Amino acid sequence: MKVGVLTGGGDCPGLNAVIRSVVRKGVQEYAFDFVGVRDGWLGLLKNDVVPLDISSVRGILPRGGTILGSSRTNPFKHEDGLRRVRDTLASYEVDALVVIGGEDTLGAATELSRQGIDLVGVPKTIDNDVSGTDYTFGFDTAVGIATEAIDRLHTTAESHMRALVVEVMGRHSGWIALHAGIAGGANVILIPERPFDMDQVCEQVKRRFEINYAPIVVVAEGAVPKEGQMILKDRSLDEYGHVRLSGIGEWLAQEISARTEKDARTTVLGHIQRGGTPSAFDRWLATRFGLHAIDAVKERDFGRMVALRDTRIVRVPLADVTGKNKVVDPSLYDEFDTFYG
């Protein structure tokens, strides 16, 4: 059997660990042949496929990003996309795909599966918002990076006695903001799941200044104020219909300064959260996902996604987990005093 591997969507720590485990087990245990698809679905549209073997994946376990490249290409937004995907797979005699991606990449995979293409999905995203799995790899690394940034910002905030707003990723779900904000000792945490009250935020900021303490506000990029709409710098759409987020942190700092008459500055972590060496947990989870994904290919259990449930890796139907996001459980709101809105 010949298996194609592709990584789609945003880059993410742990992608190379999946590629490595898929190829190593597939070659050593099942004698499969492998090819890598360049730049996600774009590679299948452009007939851009490269050989993959054990030597190709040697030494990539600790590397961030993806050796195959990635893109936010939606094959169904391109003329004759389905036919071009089929033609590329046929020309390289690819029998099945291992598709590593987040909500959009796996959504396209779900439709391709319905169209008869044999594939297995592997969930990845730093946002941890893919349904059906307790965690996605990349999330732990992103939280660690954001927490370290918050730790460092405490000292400069206190030195200048100013409020600091830290904008982290999270389009639909506030998992990074919640985890990093709690771990970093933030005073206010704002997430997409709950529109926030700007007056309440400013009141909390004032209270911190009154006790001679410089406040830290952590906000997910998709958070929305009750009295307004999503704050955006750029309203152009990608091929999946998403706007490019960012702007809420800068808006918050301006509002805090205007309403409290205190200095407020913004730090946007952006792509820093996605880059660099994956954490030990993300390497472990990504490796397990890869091993189980290639087992599913061997068993021809297609149209499924591997997922973490408690400590076990299970398989779930792609159709059951795509098209919806895993959001922060409302019960978590009540566990921490730092939620406002």
170 is in an annotated binding site: yes
Query: How many angstroms separate the CA atoms of 146 and 176, rounded?
Result: 8
152 is in an annotated binding site: no
Query: How many angstroms separate the CA atoms of 136 and 144, rounded?
Result: 14
265 is in an annotated binding site: yes
194 is in an annotated binding site: no
The DSSP letter of residue 118 is -
Give the dihedral sign, CA 253/173/203/338: negative
304 is in an annotated binding site: no
Q: Which of 104, 118, 127, 282 is catalytic?
A: 127
Q: Which residue's structure tokens are 């290409």?
A: 73
Please state, in angstroms and as integers, the Cα–Cα distance from residue 180 to each residue in 252, 262, 339, following that order. Answer: 18, 24, 13
Query: How many angstroms separate the CA atoms of 68 and 23, rounded?
Result: 13
Question: How many helices (H) does the chain have, and how many strands (E)?
Answer: 11, 13
312 is in an annotated binding site: no
126 is in an annotated binding site: yes
255 is in an annotated binding site: no
Active-site annotation holds for 127: yes
Please name every residue paired with 165 in a beta bridge, in sequence order, or none if there are none: 217, 266
248 is in an annotated binding site: no
28 is in an annotated binding site: no
169 is in an annotated binding site: yes
Please name every residue paired with 264 in a beta bridge, in sequence order, or none if there are none: 163
Q: Which residue's structure tokens are 């993410």?
A: 12
Question: Tokens for 120?
Answer: 């297995």
Annotated binding-site residues for substrate read: 125-127, 162, 169-171, 221, 265, 271-274
Annotated binding-site residues read: 10, 103, 125-127, 162, 169-171, 221, 265, 271-274
Annotated binding-site residues for diphosphate read: 10
Q: Which positions are annotated as active-site residues?
A: 127
Annotated binding-site residues for Mg(2+) read: 103
